[in-house]
Amino acid sequence: MTGNFDALAADRSRLARSSAAQRVAEVLRDHIIEGRLAPGTRLSEEALGEALAVSRNTLREAFRLLADQRLVVHELNRGVFVKTLSPRDVADIYTLRLALEMAGVRALRCAAPERLAAVRAALARAEAAETQGDWGAVGTADLHFHQAVAGLADSERIDECMARLAAELRLAFAAVPSAHGFHEPFLRRNQVLAGLLESGEIDDAELELTRYLDDARTVIVNAMAENGR
């Protein structure tokens, strides 16, 4: 049986590189989620290599991983850029988002207490950021709130999918020129949704979530149209 795996030894050196590339990709993805790397940002190999103290080969592998996650694009003779989403991208993202979050709402009755506590905690972070006027942080907390809503399903695969989707959603949020104008009304609606979940009103929570996501998608797509996308 061992002989079947002898050829893998030749690829041993790839393990360390892939591990480093995965960590670099995670760092860059986190910066996208937190709004520090905006759509259209050029990811300079030289600047990033110096900042992260990694090789160009590691960076290129990290870029490949991020491209697979639809977060960056390679433009011939220009370099690698944080992706700028299209209206079709946004519609697709929100279709998937509805399915994932709805699974969480429908699992409410059997959700573990810590899962519901995560919903409350994310909402509290958004409210705290609002009091400080930090609307970028409100947006980050909003992403965590909706990850927690989907997390009520207690599914590792849903959690992983929502974590990947969060970065794409942050790129979508960037299409709206005013973070304050975009996030304030949806923070109010997060409070409504959290209240429905707390009181176990699943049917009303499903309806609110459906309307919420449809309205958010519409706001983003309309902003893109105004910007000529």
Global pTM?
0.86
Beta bridge partners of residue 73, listed in sequence order: 81
Say which CATH topology domain 9-82 has. Answer: Arc Repressor Mutant, subunit A (1.10.10)
pLDDT at res. 15: 52
Alpha-carbon gap, residue 227 to 98, rounded angstroms = 26
Q: Where are the domains of the chain?
A: 9-82, 87-228
pLDDT at res. 13: 62
Give CATH superfamily name and number for 87-228. Answer: GntR ligand-binding domain-like (1.20.120.530)
Exposure string over 199-217, b if 16+ CB within 10 A, otherwise e: eeeeebbbebbeebbeebb
Q: Is 93 exposed, middle or buried (0-12, 13-18, 19+ CB in 10 A)?
A: buried
At 44-60, the pLDDT tens digits run: 999 999 998 999 999 99
pLDDT at res. 1: 44
* Low-confidence residues of the chain: pLDDT under 50: 1-2
End-to-end Cα separation, the chain, in angstroms = 56
